[in-house]
Structures are given as structure tokens and as C-alpha cells.
Amino acid sequence: MKQYIDSQLTQAVHRALDGFQIEVPSWGFANTGTRFGKFIQDSAATSTAEKLQDAGQVHALTGCCPTVAMHVLWDFPQGVESVPETMAAADMYGVRIGAINPNVFESQIYKHGSLANPDPNIRNEAIRHIEDCIEIASRTASRDISLWFTDGSSYPGTASIRERKQLFTDALATLHGQLDGGQRLLVEYKPFEPAFYHTDIADWGMAYILAKAAGPQAKVLVDTGHHYQAQNIEQIVAWLLSEDMLGGFHFNDRRYADDDLTLGSIDPYQVFRIFAEILGYEFDTRQPADLAYMVDQSHNLKNKVEEMIQTAVNAQELFAKAALIDFPQLREHQRQARLVEAEELYRAAFFTDVRHAIREWREGKGLPSNPLDEFRESGYTEARAVERGRRNRAQTASYA
């Protein structure tokens, strides 16, 4: 009987992993940090090609990260003209270009916002930049244009909140009209920072309203770090799923607020509960949830490739655990208000050790049974430090 149960568990884990992919961010491999500064690593990527090289290592070892989210202008410094070179590098390292992320926050012109800037010339410049990003997405066969805005105000009375809402509504509708049939706008939200009085897209409801007004190819993107303390993120996920308005995630973890820590490092049960809501939706509707799973983390202290491997492995494990929930039995417990029994199904799945089944899955795919150990033993970090160290140390001097 035990062998039969173990076989069922293994099969369930393997089915889950066969269908699971998570996108890594190019910026996670470069020397990025916090607003207080960054700590340089000799082995960090110093170019777009090197970011893709590192991403290729993560995918080669985990088997679940075939695409890389790219940031314009960090990864396409000449805009559309950079596409052929970037595409060639991605192909060389065995990955594909994923979500395209516009940059309407770093330039000095965006001091008072982008799409909601009081200056119409700056608003138009932001729209042109995002239109260029849509064109880049078309040329790279990327489906998603991932939109995060810093727009807001830091002092009462300094901006018309309603007027800025209308500016966003109009601009997103204009951008939606530039999409081809297979593309999506993903509208992200964040309650604060860098704006500290009001943020124009501060929560999932605001993102929902703006995405709905933009058109049917606009959805909401949930960044797991962009919430107030103790907020029930899985409830947000459930509501957006029920409205067919959830487009995807930026996964990370946090202790206080948007700390961009390794996925599952602080609250793995929350990530499990999010996956449980998604898999429960798929069970109830008998259709897959069309979601983009993406990573957005600050690798300021850990080795960048190691942390990305940790993230991918954690995501696989938590997704596999959620796939063990007995949803027919769960729904029956819920209908009968059997509270303890229902919760115990969650707990039983979460506390199941799925690592042996995951190792078997990896071995069956020709992957290393322990990706992190394999990476550390490969000498990759040491070799990249030799190649890139001088360029990275030059950055250190500029921050001194």
C-alpha cells in the first residue's frame, strides 16, 4: 500500500513539474542593490550577453527557466536596433527572451511621473518609450509587456489624484491599441515607494480598473512583495482569477516591505497557498490558468546565480506540494464546513517531503539531482570572476 501511495505522489509531482516554468530576470544577474547602495560581485554579469549566459546556466541546471525577462533600456540600450544582437546571445546560451519591461522611472525627466506627469511632453515621451517596448516585444516574439510605474506624489495637495487616474486610463488605452493579437499589457501595482503620499497604482483594485479600461489584452500583475503587512495575497489571486484578470506574478519574498528576498525564504506557506488557489481554480474550471510566473528579486548579498537556482528550486518544490492537494475531497469538506479536515488537507500537502520525487524527475530529464551543488562544483563562479572581475571592480571604484 505504501508503495502505491509513493507511486501516486511521485506521478503527481512529475506531472506538476512537467508543466511548470518560471521566468528569471536579467537584472538579477547584474550588480543591482538597494536604494542605499550595491555590493559588487566579481562574477556578476556586466553586459546583456553575460546576463543571458548566467540565465542559461540556471535553466540548464533546473530545467524550468527557459525565458528571461528583459529591461529596456538596460538590455536594449539602442532600443529596437539592439534586438538582433540580444536574440543571438539568447540563442547561444539556450534561453529565450521573455517579458519586456519598460523603464519610465530612471530618467531625470520622470521626477514628477511618467504617464501621469503634469507635462504633456513628458507623458508623450513615456508613451513613445513603451510603444518602442511593444515593438521590441513583437520582434523578440515576447508576449508580455510588464508595466511598473513610480508615479505618485509625496505631499498632500501637490497633485490631482483624479486627474492622474484619467491620464493613466487614457495612456494605457492608447498603448493597448498598439498591441498585436497575442500580446498583453501586465499592469503592476505598489502601495508606496518612491512616492510616499499617494501612488497612482497602489493596489490590485486600481490595477484592475485601469487594466479593464485599457482593453481585453490587459491584465494585472501581482508582485508578492508589493503589499502591506499581513495582506492576504492569495485572496487577491483568487478574486483576479475569478474575474479573468490575473496575468502573472513577480515572485519574491519579504519580511517588512518589498524586501525582494529569495522566493520562499521567509514565508513558504504563503507561496504554497498562492499556488493552491491557482491549482484549485484549474480543478474547478477544468482549464489551465494562463499565467506568467516571473522572478523579481534583489540579489545584493548572495551569489546571483546561486540565489536564482535557489529560487527556481524553491518554486518547483512549493508548486509540487500544492499539486498534492486532494481538491475533490477539499471541496467536499468545504461544502460540509468540515474546517479541521479541510485545513488538514492543506497541511498534509505542505508538509509532504517531495524532494525525492523531484530528484527522480530531474534524473529522468537528464538534469543534476541537486542543481545548487552541481553549480558550485562546476567552477562557473570562479571562471566568471576571472573574466569579469576587472570590469566589476571598476564599478566598485565609481561607488567609493
Q: What is the domain extent for residue 54?
A: 2-399
Number of domains in the chain: 1
User: For residue 73, is the peptide bond before it cis, meaning its omega torsion is within 30 degrees of 0?
Assistant: yes
**How is residue 51 written as a grid cell?**
546576463
Tens digit of pLDDT for each residue in 376-385? 999 999 999 9
pLDDT score of 1 more than 80: no
**How is residue 202 written as a grid cell?**
497602489
At residue 37 the predicted structure's pLDDT band, cuts being 50, 70 and 90, is: confident
**How is residue 105 written as a grid cell?**
522611472
CB 106 within 8 A of CB 135: no
pTM of this prediction?
0.96
**How is residue 133 written as a grid cell?**
517596448
Residues 6+ apart with CB under 8 A from 203: 189, 191
pLDDT score of 399 more than 80: no
Taking CA atoms, 277 is separated from 84, 264, 273, 331, 351, in Å, by 39, 17, 6, 12, 17
Q: CA–CA separation, 372 vs 377, rounded Å?
A: 9
CA 250 to centroid of chain Cα atoms: 3
Burial profile 37-61: b = 16 or more Cβ within 10 angstroms, e = fewer: ebebbbbbbbebbbbbbbbbbbbbb
**How is residue 22 written as a grid cell?**
518560471
At residue 33 the predicted structure's pLDDT band, cuts being 50, 70 and 90, is: confident
The single-letter code of the amino acid at 303 is N
pLDDT of residue 398: 54
User: For residue 216, is the peptide bond before it cis, meaning its omega torsion is within 30 degrees of 0?
Assistant: no
Tens digit of pLDDT for each residue in 329-382? 999 999 999 999 999 999 999 999 999 999 999 999 999 999 999 999 999 999
> Of the given ranges (44-48, 239-243, 297-301), which has the lowest mean pLDDT?
297-301
CB 221 within 8 A of CB 249: yes
pLDDT of residue 5: 57
Query: What is the average per-residue pLDDT within 85-98?
Result: 98
pLDDT of residue 73: 86
pLDDT of residue 189: 98
SS3 per-residue string spanning 166-179: HHHHHHHHHHHCCC
- 177: CATH: 3.20.20.150
pLDDT of residue 4: 53
Q: CA–CA separation, 205 vs 119, rounded Å?
A: 27
Tens digit of pLDDT for each residue in 221-259? 999 999 999 999 999 999 999 999 999 999 999 999 888
pLDDT score of 325 more than 90: yes
Average pLDDT along the chain: 95
